[in-house]
Amino acid sequence: MNKKIISCAICGAETTREQNCNLPLTPEELALAAFEAYKAGAAIIHLHVRDEKGIATQDLDLFKKTIGLIKEKCDVIIEVTTGGAVGMTDDERLEVVSLNPEMASLDCGTMNFGDEYIVNTLPTMRKFAIAMKERGIRPTLECFDLSHVYAAQMLVKEGLVEEPFHFSFVLNVPGGVRYDVETLDMMIRRIPLGCDWTVIGVGGRASLDAHYGALALGGHIRVGFEDNVYYSKGVLAESNAQLVERAVRIIREAGFEPATPEDVRKHLKLRGGES
Ligand code: ZN
**Residue 129: pLDDT over 60:** yes
pLDDT tens across 185-196, in order? Answer: 999 999 998 899
The Å distance, Cα 48 to ligand 1 centre, comes to: 6
pLDDT tens across 201-249, in order? Answer: 999 899 999 999 999 999 999 999 999 999 999 999 999 999 999 999 9
* Claim: this prediction has a pTM higher than 0.95: yes
- What mean pLDDT, rounded, does the chain reach? 96
Q: Which domains does the chain have, with CATH numbers?
A: 3-267 (3.20.20.70)
The Å distance, Cα 227 to ligand 1 centre, comes to: 8
183-217 in b/e form (b: 16+ CB < 10 A) is bbeebbeebeeebbbbbbbbbbebbbbbbebbbee
pLDDT tens across 65-86, in order? Answer: 999 999 999 999 999 999 988 8
**Residue 1: pLDDT over 90:** no
Q: How far is 220 from 196, CA to CA, in rounded Å?
A: 8
Q: How far is 142 from 128, CA to CA, in rounded Å?
A: 13
**Residue 273: pLDDT over 80:** no
The Å distance, Cα 9 to ligand 1 centre, comes to: 7
The Å distance, Cα 104 to ligand 1 centre, comes to: 10
- The three-state secondary structure class of 198 is strand
